[in-house]
Structure formats: structure tokens, C-alpha cells
């Protein structure tokens, strides 16, 4: 295609440095050897038949679960539902067999309901798992991986299990829900405990969500006012008889997001209740996590959250060692500019990290699952205000210009993944945006995660970090819902006197000074050892080759079938 021929060469040695890639990284064409779900269509012909999506009722495409992967494009409102060309052509069950008509449901996955293989009995934790309590950063379990790669990882069933507390009530903040599936993830003894769903759905989408919850009277709703195509924080608040816990995560509450994608989360310690009569400032952490969490919750202006705000005030959050980095839609001036988005991150890095000798050689790494409009060239935002934030280290006046490595899956990464092409339904980079910023693609690096066994589990996680030149240390690490976009991170306006943020995002920042382990005040070790930080992908990152192309979700891929023998034909 003309777009393919226009892509820039990815082999710019001067920008990315030259590394030798270990032998283990050379098998990117090999298909996963185990756990690949069987396709439920015996006549899997390699074809370019019209997509099935166009034949479905219109209501489905307007708000279906998996197609709601938030596109961060500022200018593309026309991205339509994607489909794989040879999904099983099964007739929908008759309305008599189900209370809810099929066309009113929100399908939990692009794969269809028959795609999933059930997890083995030993997949879920039966005793308190051995977790890395230093950082409390965990990956989601991935179905089909060797068991060793799921050790220390968590499934939603594990998070909600009695192993972590006796649940009384919970709040689920998220963007995309399959209510029946979500309810089933709670253990039977907690399944009727009150759940508050915080969402941003409007009109028809809201009606569908409410209808999903009709069989579950313990599920209530809190609608927050958000602009169109805006994501919402992904967070759980869990109130136990023993205390209270916060989980900040990257997964939607649909099965596809907890199945064969790479996702991440931060799970707080169990926060105990404060003694009666404690002062208003009691229970604060050195990172002011309590203050910031309360402020962020208040920004929703939702009466349904008031009881939870009061609950949090009555608990001791002093054990928290991470900083909250959030985004809330709006235009901000003066001191408020540093409350949200990348300017919030800049302030934290200025206040809580230290300058490093030779820091101009410490690369910035960004890893994400969606890309917004960056402008006509790198100076418009990426290499300007965003890079200034990402390269801030303490109160150094040095303006460094280190390498920037951006990790985003290539077409082949998606094609050879556990899910195959449907994994691309959660990587919504559009052709309209990509064609305007071909300059960006020279920054791109492959998704390779052999160290965590997740090279074939496509990322929905988003992480940003600053690594040493030999990639053995980290100056800081951020896990967040924020993709690479001005909408998520904010953009300066009016001669840098104002910042505009378009979406709700939430993440946690790890800086060495907040942790009291042997490398206190020094950068984190970036390794899988007990002292090192568990980076979810391989370091150093692997630069795109000349033949690699970034995954773009709304163009067809019919030249080569994926792991399930399917091709990709957008509707």
C-alpha cells in the first residue's frame, strides 16, 4: 500500500544506539508452543470474505465491549468495530432461551463466546501467594503460559479472594464492563456484597450497562460526567472487615482483558482503621498518597463516592510508598497546572529524584497500547514538553537529550500472539493518525517479553521509565492507564501558561527515595531478582527492523494468517 511504502526506515543507529540482541530474542516468528486456544471453525479457509461485523445489528457496534478500547486520537472519531474474517458463523440463541436479547448485550470479546479455554484448577491461588511486597507491582496471569511465568502474578479472582481480606463492599472504577462476568469473579461467599460501578457511559451505552446488571440487585451505579471517547480511571476500592485496600490497574472488567494480554497493577497494603479520635492529618504516607487519593476522588464530584471518601479518611495509609499520578479533564492554570498529567509527573521527578552523572545517556522508555495525534513533527509535543518531563531528574539545570525508546507492537507481534489478530482490537492506532506522523515510527521498538514469558501476550499495560545506559538500573518507574497521547498526558497552551487535559488517567510512580532497601537513594536495579524492579518486558528494547510496521487497527491484514488461521478485515 502507499502507506507501507511511505513508512520511514526503522534502522536509525544514531538515534537508538547499537546493541547485540541475545539468541533468545531471535524467535519472534515462532508461534506459541502451548496454550493456543483452538479455533472453533473446522473450515478455517484463508480468505478475504467480508467482515461479519457489518451484518450484525447496529446497536452492537455502537458500544460493544472490546471495541471500546479507548482510542487516544484527538481527531479521529470514526474508528469502527473490527472483525476477524472467519469467526464461527453461529446463529444467536433465541430470545426465549435468554432473558436479554443478544443484540442488547455487550460482547465480552472480539473472539466470540466459544473462543476461551478454561483455566486449569491450579491456575488460581489456594493459599496466600508469595508476592514481591517491596514494590507491590504485579502482572496479570496469562492463560496458556508455563506455570512458572504466572508465579507471583494475579488474576482478578485472586485479588477478590478471601486470601486478601473479608470483603464487605467494593467500588469498581472502569471503562468497559461485562457485569455477569465481573460478578462471577467474586468468591461465592462475597458475591452478594454491595458493588458500586463508577462509569462514564451515556444514553444507549448506559442503558445497556444497567440492563446487564438487572439480575444483580447488589450492583449499583455511579455515572461520572466525562467527554466523549474519554477513558476513566481503572481502580478498585475494597473495604474489608479488617481494613481497606486500593488496586490501580490497567485491565477493563471483561474476560478478554484478563485472558491473554499483558496487564499490570499496583496493589496497596491492607490499610488498617485509625483509632477513634485521630486527627484529620493522621494516616498520611511519606508520599502524600492519602491526600492525593482523596483529592482525585473529590474531582469526580459524585455524591455516591462521599461515603468512600469518609471511609478512606478513617484509615491509616501511612505504609504507602508510591506517588499517585493522575489526569482529570480540564484546563488548568497557575499552581493547578502541576496537579495533573505530565506536569504532575515532572513536579514529582523534580522533587523526589536526584541528578545522575552522565544522565544524557540514560534513555527514556515509554510503552503503551494506543497512540494519539502528536503533531507534524517531534518538536510539537513529544520532543518538547513531554520529553522535558520524562528527562527531569531532581533539581538539575542540565537539559539532557537522551535516547527515547517507544515500545509498541508491530504487525508481526500481533499476528503471532496468543490471541492472533483480535489482540489488535485493543491496540487502536488508526491509519488516519499514523499517516500524519510518520516521523514517530523511527522511535518504535518491538514488544518482546521473554523474561516474563509474555512475548506473545500483547500489552494493554502502559509503563514509562528512565533506564541506565546498560539497562541494569532504573531512575524511576511508572505504571499507568495513560497511553502516548496529549489527551492523556495534557498539552501546554497559551504560551505555556495553561495546560489542557482531556481524559481521566491514573497511575503510580516508584522512585528509589521512597523505598528503604539496599539501593536507597540510588536507582532501582532493573532485574527479576528480589531486590530488582520487575520490568514486564525485555531490556534493552529491540528496535523495529526495516520490514517492521506498527500495528494499525483499521486497515486489513490478509497476506498472512495469524496463530488461529484468521486474517484481519476491518468493517
Grid cell for residue 88: 464461527
Q: Which residue has the cell 509527573?
A: 345
DSSP bridge partners of 198: 173, 222
Grid cell for residue 517: 532497601
Q: Which residue has the cell 486489513?
A: 556
380 is known to lie in a ligand binding site: no
d(CA 548, CA 460): 20
460 counts as catalytic: yes
d(CA 544, CA 447): 10
Omega of the bond leading into 540 within 30 degrees of 0 (cis)? yes
**How many C-beta neighbours within 10 Å does residue 48 have?**
10
DSSP bridge partners of 325: 507
Out of 16, 111, 460, 564, pick the active-site residue: 460
Enter the DSSP assignment of 271.
B
Taking alpha carbons only, the member of 340, 299, 293 closest to residue 502 is: 340
Any idea what the Cα angle at residue 478 is, between residues 475 and 482, rounded to 5°? 145
d(CA 167, CA 244): 9
Q: Contact at 8 Å (CB) between 212 and 179? A: yes
DSSP bridge partners of 332: 499
Which SS3 state, helix, strand or coil, does residue 443 take? helix
Grid cell for residue 67: 471495541
290 is known to lie in a ligand binding site: no
- The catalytic residues are 460
Query: Which residues are annotated binding-site positions for substrate?
Result: 234, 462
Query: Which residues are annotated binding-site positions?
Result: 234, 462
Amino acid at each position: 500500500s502507499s502507506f507501507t511504502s511511505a513508512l520511514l526506515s526503522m534502522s536509525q543507529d544514531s538515534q537508538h544506539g547499537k546493541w547485540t540482541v541475545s539468541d533468545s530474542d531471535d524467535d519472534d516468528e515462532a508461534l506459541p508452543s502451548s496454550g493456543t486456544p483452538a479455533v472453533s471453525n473446522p473450515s478455517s479457509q484463508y480468505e478475504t470474505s467480508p467482515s461479519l461485523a457489518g451484518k450484525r445489528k447496529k446497536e452492537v457496534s455502537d458500544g460493544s465491549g472490546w471495541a471500546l478500547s479507548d482510542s487516544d486520537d484527538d481527531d479521529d472519531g470514526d474508528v469502527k468495530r473490527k472483525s476477524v474474517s472467519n469467526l464461527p458463523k453461529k446463529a444467536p440463541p433465541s430470545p426465549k432461551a435468554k432473558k436479554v436479547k443478544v443484540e442488547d448485550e455487550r460482547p465480552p470479546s472480539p473472539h466470540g463466546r466459544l473462543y476461551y479455554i478454561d483455566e486449569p484448577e491450579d491456575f488460581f491461588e489456594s493459599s496466600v501467594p508469595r508476592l514481591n511486597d517491596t514494590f507491590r507491582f504485579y502482572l496479570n496471569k496469562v492463560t496458556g503460559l508455563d506455570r512458572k511465568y504466572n508465579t507471583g502474578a494475579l488474576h482478578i479472582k485472586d485479588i477478590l479472594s478471601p486470601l486478601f481480606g473479608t470483603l464487605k463492599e467494593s467500588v469498581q472504577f472502569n471503562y468497559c464492563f461485562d457485569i455477569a462476568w465481573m460478578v462471577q469473579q467474586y468468591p461465592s461467599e462475597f458475591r452478594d456484597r454491595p458493588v458500586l460501578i463508577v462509569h462514564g457511559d451515556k444514553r444507549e451505552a448506559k442503558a445497556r450497562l444497567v440492563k446487564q446488571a438487572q439480575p444483580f440487585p447488589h450492583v449499583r451505579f455511579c455515572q461520572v460526567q466525562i467527554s466523549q471517547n474519554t477513558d476513566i480511571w481503572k481502580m478498585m476500592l475494597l473495604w474489608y472487615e479488617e481494613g481497606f485496600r486500593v488496586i490501580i490497574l490497567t485491565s477493563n472488567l471483561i474476560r478478554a482483558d484478563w485472558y491473554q494480554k499483558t496487564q499490570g497493577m499496583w496493589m496497596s497494603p491492607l490499610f488498617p482503621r485509625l483509632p477513634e479520635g485521630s486527627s484529620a492529618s493522621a494516616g498520611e504516607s511519606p508520599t502524600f498518597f492519602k491526600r492525593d487519593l482523596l483529592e482525585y476522588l473529590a474531582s469526580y464530584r459524585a455524591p455516591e463516592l462521599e461515603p468512600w471518601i469518609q471511609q478512606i479518611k478513617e484509615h491509616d495509609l501511612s505504609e504507602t510508598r508510591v506517588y499517585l499520578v493522575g489526569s482529570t479533564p480540564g484546563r488548568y492554570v497557575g499552581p493547578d497546572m502541576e496537579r495533573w498529567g505530565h506536569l504532575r509527573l515532572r513536579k514529582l521527578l523534580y522533587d523526589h529524584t536526584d541528578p545522575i552523572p552522565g544522565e544524557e545517556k540514560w534513555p527514556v522508555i515509554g510503552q503503551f497500547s494506543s497512540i494519539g495525534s502528536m503533531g507534524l513533527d517531534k518538536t510539537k509535543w513529544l520532543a518538547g514538553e513531554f520529553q522535558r518531563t520524562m528527562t527531569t531528574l531532581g533539581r538539575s539545570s542540565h537539559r539532557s537529550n537522551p535516547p527515547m525508546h517507544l515500545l509498541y507492537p508491530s504487525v508481526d507481534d500481533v499476528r503471532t500472539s496468543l490471541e492472533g489478530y483480535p489482540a489488535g482490537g485493543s491496540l487502536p492506532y488508526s491509519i488516519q493518525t499514523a499517516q500524519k506522523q510518520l516521523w514517530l515510527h523511527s522511535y518504535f521498538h518491538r514488544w518482546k517479553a521473554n523474561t516474563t514469558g509474555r512475548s506473545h501476550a500483547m500489552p494493554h499495560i502502559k509503563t514509562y521509565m528512565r533506564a541506565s545506559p546498560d539497562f541494569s538500573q532504573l531512575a524511576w518507574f511508572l505504571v499507568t492507564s495513560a497511553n502516548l497521547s496529549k489527551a492523556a498526558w495534557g498539552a501546554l497552551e497559551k504560551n505555556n501558561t495553561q495546560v489542557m487535559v482531556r481524559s481521566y488517567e491514573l497511575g503510580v510512580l516508584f522512585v528509589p527515595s521512597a523505598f528503604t532497601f539496599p539501593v536507597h537513594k540510588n536507582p532501582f536495579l532493573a532485574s527479576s531478582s528480589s531486590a530488582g524492579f520487575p520490568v514486564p518486558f525485555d531490556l534493552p528494547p529491540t528496535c523495529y527492523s526495516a520490514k517492521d510496521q506498527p500495528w494499525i487497527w483499521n486497515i486489513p491484514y490478509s497476506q498472512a494468517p495469524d496463530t488461529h488461521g484468521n486474517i484481519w478485515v476491518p468493517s
